[in-house]
């Protein structure tokens, strides 16, 4: 019985550790918040994009994070993370398509951009 409890505890610890690693290293939701830059509302007023600058610290340059907020539900989600970046231009093309820097994201479809997984990185 003790061996089963020990095995179960070890499995729970490993799964928890793997979840934390995934959240911090591979998920946009684990990205640091940073210092607020600006907000930009969508043309239909349904969404707002907030951008934040993350100081370089150990990195040599700054990074930028953008989150989208649904004004009806007040739910926030990080949709853009780019390094190096300082202050990307944000332009809403319509109520669902936004351009952040050089990236076009459809907010209704849940598009995101994470430079860590971009094989065609622009410097």
Over residues 106-111, mean pLDDT: 94
Indicate if 61 and 95 belong to the same structural domain: yes
pTM of the model: 0.75
Q: How far is CA 28 from CA 16, 45, 52, 90, in A?
A: 18, 24, 13, 19
Q: Which domain holds residue 6?
A: 1-30
Indicate if 11 and 67 belong to the same structural domain: no
Q: What is the pLDDT of residue 83?
A: 86
For the stretch 7-55, pLDDT in tens is 888 888 887 776 666 556 655 666 667 889 999 999 999 999 999 998 7
Over residues 67-82, mean pLDDT: 93
Q: What angle do CA 108, 112, 117 make, to 5 degrees?
A: 155
Q: What angle do CA 118, 70, 101 make, to 5 degrees?
A: 35
Domain count, the chain: 2
Longest dimension (CA), the chain: 62
């Amino acid at each position: 019985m003790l061996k089963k409890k020990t095995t179960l505890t070890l499995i729970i610890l490993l799964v928890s550790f793997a979840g934390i690693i995934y959240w911090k290293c591979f998920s946009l939701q684990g990205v640091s918040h940073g210092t607020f830059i600006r907000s930009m509302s969508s043309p239909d007023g349904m969404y707002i994009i907030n951008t934040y600058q993350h100081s370089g610290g150990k990195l040599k340059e700054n990074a930028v994070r953008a989150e989208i907020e649904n004004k009806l539900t007040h739910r926030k989600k990080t949709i853009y993370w780019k390094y190096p970046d300082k202050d990307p231009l944000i332009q809403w093309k319509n109520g669902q398509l936004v351009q952040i820097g050089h990236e076009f994201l459809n907010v209704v479809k849940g598009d995101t951009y994470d430079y860590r997984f971009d094989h065609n990185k622009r410097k």
